[in-house]
Amino acid sequence: MIDEKFVFLAVALNLFGSLSYLIDTLKGKTKPNKVTWFLWGLAPIIAFAAQITQGVGLSSLMTLTVGLSPLVIFGASFLNKKSEWKITNFDLGCGVLSLLALMLWAITQIGNIAILFAILADGLAAVPTLIKSYKFPETENYQAFLFAGIAAIITILTLKDYNFANIAFPIYIFSICSIFVLLIKFKLGKKLHF
């Protein structure tokens, strides 16, 4: 375990990665899926609120920045018409399922259930961008995911108590970000495509 103040380094790394994605979005180089990025903002904000009610503390700042950064990128996606990505019925279906997971949390009002459903919602929201990263990695920026993954590892290393409320969201963020880095940086989908 490292000092919990290293969470501030994790937050800074996550913001740095998000800034590179934001700049590429404004330039039209990166084309964020609006459904994914909106829900990627919403689900972690709910998980952050649930973590606060569960007494998670300082490490919950990583979850907060994982939510706020996508909302800024979502907003930026409207500023550059070249950054637009066509929203499909599949995207909307994933979005509806993601929102359903968030509504199920609202019904239960239990902190750990909220975190679980926030992870489920975030994962469902990721599907359209995972497919896009597999097929069109050039429309994405791997750095945002790389730095978010590193931030998640740092956050995990700062934890004093490895219970579900503390560790579930950082483990999920590390896992999903690792997949994105492989798909985007190494163009894994292009190499595996038959």
Q: Where are the domains of the chain?
A: 4-192
Number of helical (H) and strand (E) elements in the chain, helices listed first: 8, 0
Residue 176 has pLDDT above 90, yes or no: yes
The structure tokens listed for 151 are 């931030």
pLDDT of residue 193: 65
Q: Mean pLDDT throughout 20-38? A: 91
Which of these, 97, 94, 116, 95, lies nearest to 105 by C-alpha position?
116
Cβ(181)–Cβ(17) below 8 Å: no
Q: What is the pLDDT of residue 84?
A: 60
Asked if residues 144 and 21 have their Cβ atoms less than 8 Å apart, the reply is yes
Residue-level pLDDT at 181: 97
Average pLDDT across the chain, whole number = 89
pLDDT in tens, 52-110: 888 888 888 988 998 999 999 999 989 877 766 678 888 888 788 878 877 877 787 78
| Dist. CA 136–CA 132, nearest whole Å | 5
Least confident interval from 23-27, 40-44, 84-88, 93-97: 84-88
Cα(34)–Cα(70) distance, integer angstroms: 10
The pLDDT of residue 86 is 76
| Element of type H or E holding 64 | helix 60-76
Is residue 183 within 8 A of residue 129, CB to CB? The reply is no
pTM of the model: 0.88
- Measured in whole angstroms, the distance separating CA 64 from the mean position of its chain's CA atoms is 11
- The angle that helices 89-108 and 111-135 make with each other, rounded to 10 degrees, is 170
pLDDT over 90 at 35, yes or no? no
pLDDT tens sequence across 131-164: 999 999 999 999 999 999 999 999 999 999 999 9
